[in-house]
Amino acid sequence: MSFMTDVRADNFQQAVIDASYQQPVVVDFWASWCQPCKILLPIMEKLAEEYAGQFHLAKVEIDQQQELAAQFAVRSVPTVKMVVNGEVVDEFAGALPEDQVRQFINRHLGQAKESPLQKALQTYQQGDTESALQQMQEVLLAEPDNPTVRIEFANMLMREKRFDDARDLLNSLSASDKQNPSAVALLTQLEAIDAVKDAPDIDALLARVEQDPGDYEAREQLSAHYKLRGDYAAAMDQLLEIVKRDRSYGDDAGRKALLKIFDILGNDHELVSEYRRKLARVLN
């Protein structure tokens, strides 16, 4: 089990904010050129292993993640921030000795208690849907500016097939919060649901494509069907075929839909690497 994560903008929500509701998250902002960082970072990594999950270490390389450094008002490195229940509760700058770092961590162990959000999610997992939805509504009223609440509530509503309510919640997110991978996945799922709502079934669409390989509407609808099934390779095959045949269709709809799937799966997914190469070959 890993007790540390290299954090980027695309995994920040999950690795720091969401994780901090389960355990304290120590965020270490560092840089490769920073000599004090070379002293502090090994100490942080050693303690993360030693504490074995009592806290999680999130490492942010500021030159590669300038937006995150700006968001957290990092003015020098190393800077370390303690995040508990979605909020920064403590911090220090500079390379403290190991005993002082231990004191910093120990002050906050055990603070990440079960939040109202976690209680609502647990109620839902136990099958008490109506109570969970009511609890989520109360959490939303209490934390209207918390994007995690909106995303988790939308996810719950999606599972209950309350798609319009889920869409309203997701659309109420700020532009930056809509880029959260969880939000992107839900919004893309809603798009796929809309695309197949009045569409023929897969067999009928496959017959259309066989008869007319340039039936791009059928290919888009096939891709939506496959996405809802979780068959992303098949979904991307249809979109890639649109890109091959006609970049101008739907204002480059095939390529844009491919990029959305890349965002859902994440840069480290093997399918993303494979289909990025395929897309590059087509575009060249």
* pLDDT, tens digit only, all 284 positions of the chain: 578 999 988 888 888 988 888 889 999 999 999 999 999 999 999 999 888 888 999 999 999 888 888 888 898 999 999 999 888 999 999 999 998 999 999 998 876 556 788 788 888 888 999 999 999 999 999 989 888 889 889 989 998 989 999 999 999 999 888 877 678 888 888 988 988 988 999 999 999 999 999 999 999 999 999 988 888 899 999 999 999 999 999 999 999 999 988 877 776 678 888 999 999 999 98
- What is the pLDDT, as a whole number, of residue 250? 93
Cis peptide before 78 (omega within 30 of 0): yes
Say which CATH number the domain at 144 has: 1.25.40
Neighbours of 214 (CB within 10 A): 12
Q: Which amino acid is at 29?
A: F
77 is an active site residue: no
178 in a structural domain: no
Mark whether 167 and 218 lie in a shared domain.
no
Mark whether 100 and 122 lie in a shared domain.
no
Mark whether 140 and 69 lie in a shared domain.
no
- Tokens encoding 208: 């259309």
143, 149, 154, 160 alpha-carbon torsion, rounded to 10° = -100
- What is the pLDDT, as a whole number, of residue 91? 94
- What is the pLDDT, as a whole number, of residue 268? 65
18, 19, 23, 27 alpha-carbon torsion, rounded to 10° = -110
Mark whether 208 and 167 lie in a shared domain.
no
Which of 172, 165, 122 has the alpha carbon at shortest distance from 144? 172
Token look-up 């309203």 returns: 168
Residue 269: which domain range?
196-283
- Tokens encoding 3: 């007790």
- Of 64, 82, 106, the residue that ends a domain is 106
- What is the pLDDT, as a whole number, of residue 113? 59
- What is the pLDDT, as a whole number, of residue 7? 92
Sheet holding 25-30, edge to edge: 4-6, 56-61, 25-30, 79-84, 87-93
186 in a structural domain: no
- What is the pLDDT, as a whole number, of residue 270? 81
Mark whether 72 and 134 lie in a shared domain.
no
Mark whether 146 and 221 lie in a shared domain.
no
Backbone angles phi, psi at 80, to 5 degrees: -120, 130
Mark whether 154 and 227 lie in a shared domain.
no
60 in a structural domain: yes
Mark whether 8 and 81 lie in a shared domain.
yes
| Annotated catalytic residue, options 31, 34, 205, 236 | 34
Is the four-CA dihedral 102, 103, 104, 106 of positive or negative sign?
positive
Mark whether 102 and 121 lie in a shared domain.
no
- Tokens encoding 42: 């090994």
- What is the pLDDT, as a whole number, of residue 51? 85
182 in a structural domain: no
- Whole-model pTM? 0.56
12 is an active site residue: no
Say which CATH number the domain at 242 has: 1.25.40.10
| Annotated catalytic residue, options 16, 17, 37, 190 | 37
Domain count, the chain: 3
- Cα distance between residue 162 and residue 12, in whole Å: 28
Q: Which helix (H) or strand (E) holds 36?
A: helix 35-51
Mark whether 77 and 135 lie in a shared domain.
no
93 in a structural domain: yes
Mark whether 89 and 139 lie in a shared domain.
no
- Of 83, 106, 129, the residue that ends a domain is 106
Torsional class of 53: left (φ above 0), alpha (ψ -120 to 50), beta (otherwise):
left
275 in a structural domain: yes
145 in a structural domain: yes
Token look-up 């450094």 returns: 69
Q: Are 112 and 22 in contact (CB under 8 A)?
A: yes
Mark whether 166 and 212 lie in a shared domain.
no
Say which CATH number the domain at 71 has: 3.40.30.10
222: Cα separation from own chain's centroid: 25
- Of 106, 125, 148, the residue that ends a domain is 106
Distances (CA, A) of 241 to 33, 195, 209, 237: 45, 18, 11, 6
Residue 210: exposed, middle, or buried by beta-carbon count in 10 A (0-12, 13-18, 19+)? exposed
Residues 6+ apart with CB under 8 A from 157: 133, 163, 165, 166, 169
